[in-house]
Amino acid sequence: MTISKTKSGSYLVEVQYPKKLRPFFDNKRRYKKTLPSLKTAKIQEANVLMQIEQVRKDDSPSSLETKGEMLFSDFYHNVFMDIYVKGATGRTRVVPTVETIDYQKSIFRLHILPMFGNYSLNYLNNHKEIVINELTMKSATFSNIRNIKSYTRQVFDLAEAMDYIEYNRVGKVLNMVASPYHDQLKKQRQAKGEALTAQELLDWLEALEEDYQAGKITLMQHLLFLLTLHVGDRKSETYGLQWRHIDLKTNSLFIIQSLSKSKKLKDTKGHKFTQLTIPEELVSEIAEWKAQQAEELAQIGIEQTPDQFVFTYTDFRGHMNVPLHSDYLNYRIKSIHHRHPELAKLHPHKLRHTFGTLAREGGASLEDISEALTHSDLATTKIYVNTPDVISTKVHEMFVNRLKKESTKKRQII
């Protein structure tokens, strides 16, 4: 047995397995593993020697947690991913979308595997301080630390369920990792304001009209901005609109689906089915765009049907009538801001915050705004509505009336 320092500065642990015990170690002659520090190398060496001694005493492979010696990265690629894509990990048993799978892969590739990939499951599970230290450092520079913690927990939950580890010790300490960078960014957003003021929005609408009249943006782009604003929906829900969802006879609009980043239709967030009245300001413009789109489609031999998307574009390859790219509205907003740099910064989701905030300032109740934004609870709506909680004078009036009543009662006794 020996520990040697490598040229890269890491430490190589090598332990010879006794010949008669090798069948219990997959017939390997020796144990070899590279670790980042001398301290961790000595701990791992001690663990291996302890395992050899235990097998020597018991003469049974069942006493050796050989499965737990699998590297975290190997477990992720060879075990976890196959089960994850089937929706069998995590607290909710839902098959993840293509976009969610891609996001998960990027989180592991860029963040989780560089931290834990070269450690064995057993080693991390028995040395929780490594997990805490790595995640604490990560939380200082990465905003969405919650997702990293969640995926890490899922890995060790699955390892426990499949008997790779005795039980998940890591899961108990993940809650100790805070989210300082996330909190810092949140305070910055709140300080700057997560919604446009009424005047800032008017400035944007004036610039929008100016660009439209000057031919800088098309009728479709003009309508896309206004509809997303006035309806207060998510841009993916606007992208997912088909003509069968718009009834110009009753001025009704139905939001029942959204368009994913991979341009596939899916349910709305929260699986909501929402019917809205089309704002009067937009009825004629929607009718005008429907007629114009029908003419444009006819020129390329396509009939406008109820399943036709309301908003499409021609991509850079020349493909026509393509569902909108996920950042299409973002790009249009940036182009307007480029021509009018004096405007407040804006992105599509800020339109949604602005809708809720100005509606609240205009007198709408939180309950009505929550319903309009299709939120599941008022707590989420309060995040969107960037206005102070205004206390009604009625509460103070009730307080004063009760005090006056007691005062009058006292005078009558005297």
329 & 235 share domain: yes
70 & 4 share domain: no
Task: Please list, residue by residue across 31-65, b when 16 or more beta carbons sit within 10 angstroms of its beta carbon and e when fewer do.
Answer: bebebeeeebbeebbebbeebbeebeeeeeeeebb
**Helices and strands (H, E) in the chain, number of each type:** 18, 10
Mean pLDDT to the nearest integer, 125-146: 93
182 & 212 share domain: no
User: Mind listing the pLDDT tens digit for each residue in 56-109?
Assistant: 766 555 544 568 889 999 999 999 999 999 988 877 778 888 889 999 999 999
Query: Does 410 map to a domain?
Result: no
Query: Does 408 map to a domain?
Result: no
Flag the least confident range among 158-162, 314-318, 400-404. Answer: 400-404
E strand spans, 208-345: 246-247, 252-255, 258-259, 265-266, 274-277, 312-313, 322-323
Classify 266 as helix, strand or coil: strand
Query: Does 394 map to a domain?
Result: no
User: Mind listing the pLDDT tens digit for each residue in 267-296?
Assistant: 888 777 888 889 888 999 999 999 999 999
Query: Does 238 map to a domain?
Result: yes
| Final residue of a structural domain among 62, 80, 97 | 62
Distance CA 32, CA 12 (A): 7
Distance CA 208, CA 228 (A): 14
Q: What's the pLDDT score for residue 372?
A: 73
Quick check: 1 pLDDT over 60?
Answer: no
| Final residue of a structural domain among 192, 216, 247 | 192
308 & 362 share domain: yes
Query: Does 228 map to a domain?
Result: yes
| Final residue of a structural domain among 192, 216, 235 | 192
Flag the least confident range among 104-108, 136-140, 403-407. Answer: 403-407
Mean pLDDT to the nearest integer, 213-223: 97
260 & 376 share domain: yes
Which band of pLDDT confidence, cut at 50, 70 and 90, is reported for residue 120?
A: very high
Query: Does 397 map to a domain?
Result: no
Q: What's the pLDDT score for residue 63?
A: 43
Domain count, the chain: 3
Query: Does 391 map to a domain?
Result: no
What is the CA angle 103-256-144, rounded to 5?
A: 25
285 & 363 share domain: yes
18: containing domain: 1-62
Q: What's the pLDDT score for residue 64?
A: 42
Distance (Å) of CA 332 to CA 198, 221, 382 = 21, 8, 28
Mean pLDDT to the nearest integer, 408-414: 67
User: Mind listing the pLDDT tens digit for each residue in 351-385?
Assistant: 988 888 888 888 888 787 777 776 666 666 666 66
Mean pLDDT of the chain: 86
Two structure tokens written together for 133 = 């230290």
1 & 21 share domain: yes
41 & 113 share domain: no
216 & 137 share domain: no
325 & 375 share domain: yes
The CATH number linked to 379 is 1.10.443.10
47 & 188 share domain: no
Mean pLDDT to the nearest integer, 160-187: 88
Query: Does 399 map to a domain?
Result: no
50 & 133 share domain: no
